[in-house]
Amino acid sequence: MIFAAYASEMESPDFDPEEFVERQAWKLGSGSQEQFNADALHHGFVETIKFKGTQDRIHRKYDEIEKKLINDFVYGYRNGNKERMQQIVDVFKPFKGYPHLVEAFIEESLQGAFGSNNYFREIPRLCKETVAVISAVFRNKEQVLSKFLSVLYSGRLKEFIQSQLPRSDPASDDLDQYLDTFASLYSKTQSLSRELSDLGICPDPSSLQHINKSIFENHLKGYPSVELDCLRKSCASTLHKYYADLGHQKKNISNKTVSDFLDLQSVKAVMSQIGQGSEEHEESFLSEHTAISILEETKNSLKRSQMLSKPSQLANNVSDLFQVLTTSLMEEHLEYALDLGLESIPGPDSKSPPKGRFFGIVRQANAIVVLYQKLFEESVVPLISASPKHKECLQRKRNLLKQMEIKMDAGIERSLTAIMGYVRQLFVEQKKTDFRRDSTDMSTESQSPAACPSIWNYSVFVAFRELPHGVVRFMTGIIQRIKDGLDGANLESTMTELGIRFHRAIYEHLLQFQYNSAGAMCVICDVNEYRHLAQEFGIPLIASLFDTLHALCNLLIVPLSNIQQICMGEALASLDRSVLVNFIQLRVDSKAAKITL
């Protein structure tokens, strides 16, 4: 056997170990395969070093030859001599120096590989080239490739990533940039691993995922608290800038409840505390642009959390981020604006016309709520749907929106009360005798161009017309405000309620007067204007109420002999008899005649 020849030579008294190793290496270097076997030679070395006196010399020569072969291997790599590299690998395979050869190969492969500093673009190219060499040179290519990827990730890539991220905790004023960089690098590393796996370069994808985690381990450990802190500061900064640009100093009104705003006795005290007691300031203190900025910041945080959170922590992290959004956007911004809006609504005895600003606040609030709901459904629910946190967040959201709805309803109610309070204030200007003036107010010198009798002085008629004109102008503006601010069922119900209250106010106002024929003609003109205004409500019921009121006013001017016939007509037949009687008794001539219905 070949080893027997090696052993016999080694046992000879004249055996020179250095000459022996040199000779075997020369055979390898010259490509001669005559009676040469690498495994047998390795076994011979192992057996020979047992002989005293030869051990140190063989070790020295072994190391020297190993270095020469590694250098020769590197030279072959640089010159593209894969055949020579493979020969050296075959000789080295059984020897203890084989790992050194693999390390030398990996180091040489990585030498000068990242001149552009774009690691994530260069690594796939480098891996393709290196895999081609490994496949041609090494017999155990899977093990060599795994070692190459491990060194590439844990060495060069990790060093690059750490150079882009702070070694210690990020600066508090730079959290957003830190998290963006962290998430970007993490995402690129994950994508790189998937790309290598898809290319068939990575023999064990799970090992790369493990290395990925180890690269970012220190940053992943404290990520949840950093993300939460970043979102809080970002939301606070956005809100602070918004209010600062308005020159507004936020007030503490968190202790006020809806009942405080509905209790008209406490309105003045509440307004005094906040310093916002009128609608003169048109600012709503709501900003859809600010809301969108906060929602975008939250969306970015949720995306990062999905990527960087441990699976066991994801639901908790998402829930915490959603709570920050809810507190910042819905409570500190939207609810605060609703509270200010509620307090700015004047009371029912206001001498100044209310502007209906709260309806615009409702419009903006509803728009923000829609965006808030959309983010919850699209970005939050998919991340927590399988967790108990889903039910918890959903209930929290429902409770908050219910509170918002109550405040919006309260604001609409107070606005309607203020509107009708001002209308009644306008009606107060009309005197009890305005619709039954005596002959001293009559003249035939100037006749009215309107439908009123010519016996009325035209200047008196014009003065009468100013009141309904003023009411119509005011109500037209309010109706437009409501249409701009509300929609759907909310618009319909509010218009219906306002129309009913407006009709009731006019009806009750008309019941306070006595009417002669001239006064009756003028009140019919007034009601006809209100009737045309009723069409603007867009509610059939309101139009019908004013049509009926107009028909009732006709009872004030028709001949007494025709009253019973008019009351039985289609317009008034459905009314209660007491309503008809009460209206007929407003005629100055009703007491002189006996009317039976």
**pLDDT tens, position by position, 436-479:** 765 444 443 333 333 444 444 544 445 556 888 999 999 999 99
Q: What is the pLDDT of residue 443?
A: 41
Predicted confidence (pLDDT) per residue in 213-241, tens digit: 888 888 898 899 999 999 999 999 999 99
Is it the case that residue 72 has pLDDT exceeding 50? Answer: yes
Which of 250-259, 385-394, 565-574 is the most confident on average? Answer: 385-394
Q: What is the pLDDT of residue 265?
A: 43
Neighbours of 440 (CB within 10 A): 7
Domain boundaries, the chain: 2-211, 223-419, 429-584
pLDDT band for 140, please (50, 70, 90 cuts).
confident
Q: What is the pLDDT of residue 25?
A: 57
**What mean pLDDT comes out for the span 486-515?**
94
Cα atoms in the Cβ-side hemisphere of radius 13 Å centred on 415: 29
Alpha carbon 142 to its chain centroid, in Å, reads 47
Q: What is the pLDDT of residue 447?
A: 37
Alpha carbon 568 to its chain centroid, in Å, reads 62
pLDDT band for 403, please (50, 70, 90 cuts).
very high
Neighbours of 542 (CB within 10 A): 22
Is it the case that residue 141 has pLDDT exceeding 90? Answer: no
Q: Helix H segments across 511-562?
A: 517-534, 540-554
Is it the case that residue 142 has pLDDT exceeding 90? Answer: no
pLDDT band for 11, please (50, 70, 90 cuts).
low
Is it the case that residue 24 has pLDDT exceeding 50? Answer: yes
Q: What is the pLDDT of residue 6?
A: 57
The average confidence (pLDDT) of the chain is 82
Predicted confidence (pLDDT) per residue in 148-169, tens digit: 988 888 888 888 888 888 766 6
Torsion sign, CA atoms 488, 489, 490, 494: positive
More confident position, 267 or 415: 415
Q: First CA to last CA across the chain, in angstroms?
A: 141
More confident position, 277 or 156: 156
Q: What is the pLDDT of residue 112?
A: 73
Q: What is the pLDDT of residue 274?
A: 43
Predicted confidence (pLDDT) per residue in 174-204, tens digit: 888 899 999 999 999 989 888 888 887 776 7
Q: Helix H segments across 93-216?
A: 98-110, 119-137, 141-151, 158-164, 175-198, 205-215
Distance between CA atoms of 475 and 499, rounded to whole angstroms? 10
Q: What is the pLDDT of residue 4?
A: 56
Express as a percent the part of the chain with pLDDT over 70: 78
The residues that bridge with 515 in the sheet, in sequence order, are 587
3-class SS of residue 143: helix
Q: What is the pLDDT of residue 455?
A: 42
Which of 202-211, 304-313, 459-468 is the most confident on average? Answer: 304-313
Q: What is the pLDDT of residue 534?
A: 96
Q: What is the pLDDT of residue 47?
A: 58
Query: How many residues are there in the chain?
Result: 597
Residue 472: both structure tokens together: 């119509």
Is it the case that residue 581 has pLDDT exceeding 60? Answer: yes
Instruction: Give backbone dihedrals phi and psi of 347, rounded to 5 degrees, phi first.
Output: -75, 175
3-class SS of residue 56: helix
288-308 and 314-325 helices, crossing angle to 10°:
170
3-class SS of residue 386: coil
More confident position, 169 or 320: 320
Q: Which residues contact 197 (CB under 8 A, 6 or more apart)?
A: 205, 208
Q: What is the pLDDT of residue 358?
A: 95
Which of 86-100, 363-377, 581-595 is the most confident on average? Answer: 363-377
Q: What is the pLDDT of residue 7?
A: 58
State the DSSP string of 191-250: HHHHHHHHTT--S-HHHHHHHHHHHTHHHHHTHHHHHHHHHHHHHHHHHHHHHHHHT-PP
Residue 400: both structure tokens together: 């908050």
Express as a percent the part of the chain with pLDDT over 90: 41
pLDDT band for 389, please (50, 70, 90 cuts).
very high
Radius of gyration of the chain (CA): 46
Neighbours of 400 (CB within 10 A): 18
Alpha carbon 171 to its chain centroid, in Å, reads 25
